[in-house]
Amino acid sequence: MTWIGKIARVGRIVETAEAAPASTITPPTGVSGSLQLRHVDCGSCNGCELEISGAFSSVYDAERFGARVVASPRHADGLITTGVVTRNMRQPLLNTLKSVPEPRVVIAVGDCAINGGAFTSGYGVIGPVTDVIPVDVQVPGCPPTPAQIIAALRTVTGR
């Protein structure tokens, strides 16, 4: 029961939301405020993953803008990809994208996904995500902060 006291004392820990950024694309189905994403790590160092998990944590709470991470690409509106595409992950990335029902978006998070970042010349690397699948939203940074990630998500959800 000390938990109840702790909950009461700590209260709200989420940061206040900023003003909504301008939408760059319309929400995939026209319904704003609902975006489910399937995360694909194509070959990242996990730095962007930590920032994404920070974005969905209690402090930044991306869920209040309608974004959610789901387990199955069939349930998703799109992919949120991190990392540079390695040889072994190229086909799985394509298979995952094919499994997402239309209409769908692709969000590339981090410099590696956009232009190869620090790993462009690796021998196991094919290229950035933008070379393999069409990307709708890019979030530059190495790694991007949770606030930047959320701002990018909000341009898609429209909320």
Partner 1 sequence: MNTAQTAPYDSPSVPAPDQGLRSPRRAQAQAFVSGGLTAAIGAVGLVLGLSAIFAQPRQLVISWLLPLVGVRFEFGPLGGFFVAATGAVSIAVGIYAIGYAQREHWARFPLFILPLFVAAMLLVPAAGSVTSFLLAWELMAAASLALVLSEHHRAAVRSAGAFYAVMTQLGFAAILLALVVLSAAGGGDSFATIAAHAGGISSGTRTAVFLLTVMGFGSKAGLLPLHAWLPRAHPEAPSPVSALMSAAMVNMGIYGIIRIDLQILGPGPHWWGLTLMIFGAVSAVFGVLQASVATDLKRLLAYSTTENMGLVTLALGTASMLSSYGAPQVAAMAMTAALLLILSHASFKTLAFLAAGSVLAATGLRDLDKLGGLARRMPATTTMFGIAALGASGLPLGAGFVGEWLLLQSLIHSPHANNTLLALAMPLSVGAVALTTGLGIAAMVKAFGVGFLARPRSAAAEAAREAPASMLTGMGLAAVACTVFAVAPILVGPALKHVLTALPTVGGQAAGPALGAYLRLPGIAGSMSPGLIALSLLVAVLLVLALARWGARHRPAAVSAPVWACGADSINAKMQYTATSFAEPLQRVFDNILQPETDVEVTHFAESQYLVEKVTFRTQMADPVEQRLYTPVVRAVTTWSQWVRRAHPGSVHLYLAYGAIGLLIVLVVVR
Partner 2 sequence: MSESSALAYLATAMQVLAVLGAAPFVVGGMRQIRARLEGRAGGGIGQPWRDLRKQLRKQQITPNGTTIVFALAPAIVAGTTLLIAAISPLIALGSPLDPTADLFGVVGLLFLGTVALTLAGLDTGTAFGGMGSSREITIAAMVEPTILLAVFALSIPGHSANLAAIVSSSADNPGRLVSPGSLLAFVALTIVVTAETGRLPVDNPSTHLELTMIHEAMVLEYTGPRLALVEWASGMRLTVLLGLIANLFLPWGIAAADPSVLGVLIGLVAIAIKVAILAGVLATVEVFLAKLRYFRIPELLAGSFLLALLAVTASYFFATP
Chain contacts with partner 1 (rule: CB under 8 A)? 29-30, 72-74, 91-93, 95-96, 98-99, 101-103
* 21 is a site residue for partner 2 (CB under 8 A): no
Q: Contact letters (x/-) for partner 2, 35-54, by CB under 8 A?
A: -x------------------
In 79-145, which ranges are continuous DSSP H helix?
90-99, 111-115, 129-132
Shortest distance, position 74 Cβ to partner 1, whole Å: 6
- Per CB under 8 A, contacts with partner 2 among 71-110 are 71-72, 74-75, 77, 99, 101-103
If the CB atoms of residues 126 and 149 are measured against partner 1, the closer one turns out to be 126
**Rounded-to-integer distance, Cα 96 and Cα 13, Å:** 35
5 binds partner 2 (CB under 8 A): no
Count of positions (residues) in the chain: 159
Query: DSSP letter string over 21-76?
Result: PPPSS--TTS-TT-EEEEEEESS--SHHHHHHHHHTSTTT-GGGGTEEE-S-GGG-
Cβ(144)–Cβ(48) below 8 Å: yes
What's the burial of 72, exposed, middle or buried (CB within 10 Å: 0-12/13-18/19+)?
exposed
In whole angstroms, the minimum distance from the beta carbon of 39 to partner 2 comes to 9
Q: Which of partner 1, partner 2, none does residue 124 bind to, with CB < 5 to 8 Å depending on kind? A: none
In the complex, minimum distance from the CB of residue 77 to partner 1, in angstroms, rounded to a whole number = 13
List residues near partner 2 by CB under 8 A.
3, 7, 10-14, 17, 27-34, 36, 58, 61, 63-66, 68-72, 74-75, 77, 99, 101-103
